[in-house]
Amino acid sequence: MSVSAVVLAAGKGTRMKSELPKVLHPIAGKPMVQHIIDTLGEVGAAQINLIYGHGAEQLQSALAHNSLNWCLQTEQLGTGHAVMQAVPHIQDDDDVLILVGDAPLIKAETLQSLIATKAEADLVLLTVVLDDPSGMGRIVRDGDQVKAIVEHKDASAAQRQIQEINTGIMIMGGADLKCWLGQLENNNAQQEYYLTDVIAMAAEENKVIKATQASSAVEVEGINNRVQLAKIERAYQWQQAQTLMLNGVSLADPNRIDIRGDVSTGTDVSIDVNVVLEGKVVLGSKVKIGANCILKDCEIADGTVIEAFSSIEQAVVGTDCNVGPYARLRPGSVMKAKAKVGNFVEMKKTELGEGAKANHLTYLGDATVGAGANIGAGTITCNYDGVNKFKTDIGEGAFIGSNSSLVAPVTIGKDATVGAGSVITKTVESEQLAIARGKQRNVTGWARPVKK
Ligand code: UD1
Ligand code: MG
């Protein structure tokens, strides 16, 4: 039996006050509905039917890389009507897992347990008990047995006292679902086709209805406005911080780290406050990250220290390196073991060899720097003529004096030396000294001008 998922995402999300459809608002940099799609991937859903309506074009482009059945709901006539749009894709012997697109923290384990429970029941609901259940559909029971879900607006005063609510997530057989959807009516307070009415139909037919509980209220909390969006973002970040700490990472403050992607870590990594990790980040053992760093799609090998305020993107940093403070490694930067990059140094498409140093105020673009080379303060690789980019090749053990411009394409040989303040436009052979600057002239007896 395969699991066919239906994700309800046709609503506008008016309370977000946004031109972006609600389900595309990001949690940890990823659209909230994408979190749900990814979780469905983890539980092995055979197909995902996405019910969409508002913001169709934006949804289709943002979610284009997924394999989805796109089910258009032109008018939003209720959650039951929404699920009807997926009927052509549903087989009778499917287990149909229905979710809402605006509750992104649902866990794979919870869905797995819902799917497992379905093996012993005809219909399984995911419920949660809330201190304040107002606005939500209430689970009406007779003893232990679930009898119905009553929407808040249709509930009696007594029913409104019920604190167990419908999360909007449920699973049932395809044949049952199609049969019940066919019987839905909209004679209720909101004149909508409520999906929740199928529970009373199932109870009437003496079907086996079970309810499993969500692990926490926040796991199933829906987002309607930006206050809730921020709350769910923080909850998600807290979960990720906890995972890191339980994996042996020291966080100076687990409330001041943001992870927008996948992070893998060795042992004894330590991370100071206000660090943002994006995309795929791999941190080796004993890596230390200083305060206010941004690391995106990068690998930092064992023992490397990234000092405060550094920005690293699509770069590979080897073992025992030092980066920053205030360093910027742009895409294509590679640092070999024990290399050092200091403050206000920018690298792009550049390899810094083993033990090489660029400690201050430097731009290295489209360059290779050999092992043990020393790049003096204020060195600039002039890699761009306004149209094309050119390479600079600096040999092993070379010493580039401060405030030099290396006009590419240019090669500096092994163990060559460039005098400070030089503008180098021609090859410097290995072990040569190149000096290319105005000659100093001293004038004796020169009188300073005086004020008139
Ligand atoms: C629904 C449930 C309620 C549950 C609550 C949990 C029903 C009738 N009620 O109420 O029992 O406690 O969720 O949050 O199911 N949607 C569509 N098309 C529509 C209507 C809704 O795609 O025609 C989508 C919305 O975009 C949203 C989801 O379905 O993602 C839920 O709709 P919403 O209007 O928020 O339902 P609630 O009134 O919150
Ligand atoms: Mg809702």
**Amino acid identity of 214?**
A
396 Cα to the center of ligand 1, angstroms: 65
Q: What's the confidence (pLDDT) of residue 309?
A: 98
pTM for the full predicted model: 0.94
Q: What's the confidence (pLDDT) of residue 1?
A: 74
140 Cα to the center of ligand 1, angstroms: 18
Does the pLDDT value for residue 264 go beyond 90?
Answer: yes
237-434 adopts what CATH topology? UDP N-Acetylglucosamine Acyltransferase; domain 1 (2.160.10)
Instruction: Tell me the best of 79, 130, 139 to mutate to test the pocket of ligand 1, counting ligand atoms within 8 Å of each CB and taking the most.
Output: 79
88 Cα to the center of ligand 2, angstroms: 25
Q: What's the confidence (pLDDT) of residue 104?
A: 98
Q: Give the closest ligand to the alpha carbon of residue 12.
A: 1
- In the predicted model, what is the mean pLDDT of residues 19-35? 97
Domain layout of the chain by residue ranges: 3-220, 237-434
- In the predicted model, what is the mean pLDDT of residues 82-90? 98
Residue 85 near ligand 1, beta carbon < 6 Å: no
Tokens of 451: 């004020």
Q: What is the pLDDT of residues 28-83, one digit of tens each?
A: 999 999 999 999 999 999 999 999 999 999 999 999 999 999 999 999 999 999 99
HSE toward the beta carbon, residue 96, CA cutoff 13 A: 26
Residue 48 near ligand 1, beta carbon < 6 Å: no
Residue 127 near ligand 1, beta carbon < 6 Å: no
- In the predicted model, what is the mean pLDDT of residues 396-420? 98
Q: Which residues surround ligand 2, an ion (CB under 5 A)?
A: 222
Q: What is the pLDDT of residues 268-304, one digit of tens each?
A: 999 999 999 999 999 999 999 999 999 999 999 999 9
Q: pLDDT grade, residue 12 (50/70/90)?
A: confident
Q: What is the pLDDT of residues 241-262, one digit of tens each?
A: 999 999 999 999 999 999 999 9
Does the pLDDT value for residue 428 go beyond 80?
Answer: yes
What is the rounded distance in angstroms from the CA atom of residue 196 to the CA atom of residue 154?
12
Residue 194 near ligand 1, beta carbon < 6 Å: yes
Instruction: Tell me the best of 12, 75, 100 to mutate to test the pocket of ligand 1, counting ligand atoms within 8 Å of each CB and taking the most.
Output: 100
Is the domain 3-220 a CATH 3.10.180.10 member? no
Going by alpha carbons, the residue nearest to atom 8 of ligand 1 is 194
- In the predicted model, what is the mean pLDDT of residues 322-332? 98
Catalytic residue at 360? yes
Give the chain as a 3 state SS string: CCEEEEEEECCCCHHHCCCCCHHHCEECCEEHHHHHHHHHHHCCCCEEEEEEECEHHHHHHHCCCCCCEEEECCCCCCHHHHHHCCHHHCCCCCEEEEEECCCCCCCHHHHHHHHHHHCCCCEEEEEEECCCCCCCCEEEEECCEEEEEECHHHCCCCHHHCCEEEEEEEEEEHHHHHHHHCCCCCCCCCCCCCCCHHHHHHHHCCCCEEEEECCCCHHHCCCCCHHHHHHHHHHHHHHHHHHHHHCCCEECCCCCEEEEEEEEECCCCEECCCEEEEEEEEECCCCEECCCCEEEEEEECCCCEECCCCEEECEEECCCCEECCCCEECCCEEECCCCEEEEEEEEEEEEECCCCEEEEEEEEEEEEECCCCEECCCCEEECECCCCECCEEECCCCEECCCCEEECCEEECCCCEECCCCEECCCECCCCEECCCCCCCCCCCCCCCCCC
Residue 84 near ligand 1, beta carbon < 6 Å: no
